[in-house]
Amino acid sequence: MAIALLGFQTTIAAPLSLTGIGVHSGREVTITFLPAEAGSGITFVRQHDDGTTSEYRAVSAHVGNTDLCTVLGTNPAHSIATIEHVMAAIYALGLDNLVIEVDGAEMPIMDGSSEVFIDAIEQVGITNLGVKRRYIRVTKPVRIEAGASWAEFRPYDGTRFEVEIDFDSKLIGRQMWAGELNAETFKTELSRARTFGFMRDVERLWAAGFALGSSLENSVVISDDDSVINVEGLRYEKDEFVRHKTLDAVGDLALAGAQFIGCYRSYRGGHKLNANALKALLSDPTAYEVVEAPSRNHKVRAREFVPVHVPEFAPWTA
């Protein structure tokens, strides 16, 4: 299959701001997206009350805790949490360069999905910067395992996700989502899938200082009798759960610092497994190559991208 991929770097056409609640802190937070120059990548800037800032490029080397969400930075006083839904939207829309300012410790959860971020970015528009985009193309299988869970990258002529989950819950059970990853597929099949959790876990999370901003407005909640508490039910019949796990995987893998050409597969995965699989791929120089479009065409078939010999191009370590 000939999959067309964007050959040039992009940014947003104008600044935009969104305000919402942090799902773990329960505090109001505002984020502002700013255009950025070609080659600068995605940068998060946390603004502190004393006027100082903490800055992180959205790359694998800066990933800290991955227990309940994906965090940039290892010091809670300076880190930025819950970036995966924002990064999924950025990756799916093909944005390469942005500055994201935030006045709190985490991204706003909004409705628990990526839909609000997609809509906001599309309202301001995307600008082609006229500089060739470089991709990471998987050249051989890379697999990691953690107990009954596993994840792997495989060579593929395009960008594809195959995510399977298996929960001890009659409501969820074993579900799988598989498909090509592009802006349209993400918007229609994944972007509206919300984060989910079990009512039985709520008190434990609250006691630990997490999920303080979680509510039926931003999460699918599963009751003790294995039913959905939310009055409106599921947005995707039966399988919103695996679609959200796929959304998370898109956001986590965006921390490669570049788009990738290949297939990502996982079973019973989560943020930690996604992060470790990405690190396993990027730590093996024989498992991938850096490629770019061979011509000045706006879109190029995946198989037509050509290797570029630039050993200094390693955005995931920046």
Active site residues: 271
With tokens 């990471």, the residue in question is 136
Task: Give the DSSP H/E element, type plus range, for residue 127.
Answer: strand 126-132
**Ligand-binding site membership of 78 (annotated):** no
What's the sign of the alpha-carbon dihedral 145, 150, 156, 159? Answer: negative
Two structure tokens written together for 100: 């994201």
Query: In terms of Cα–Cα distance, which of 264, 246, 270, 253 is closest to 193?
Result: 246
**Ligand-binding site membership of 48 (annotated):** no
Query: In terms of Cα–Cα distance, which of 39, 42, 13, 258 is closest to 131?
Result: 39
Two structure tokens written together for 221: 């909640």
**Ligand-binding site membership of 244 (annotated):** yes
- Dihedral of the alpha carbons of 210, 215, 216, 219, in degrees to the nearest 10: -40
| Residues 210-233: b if buried by 16+ CB within 10 A, e if exposed | bbebbeeebbbbbeeeeebebeee
- β-partners of residue 145 are 150
Annotated binding site: 85, 244, 248
Annotated binding site for Zn(2+): 85, 244, 248
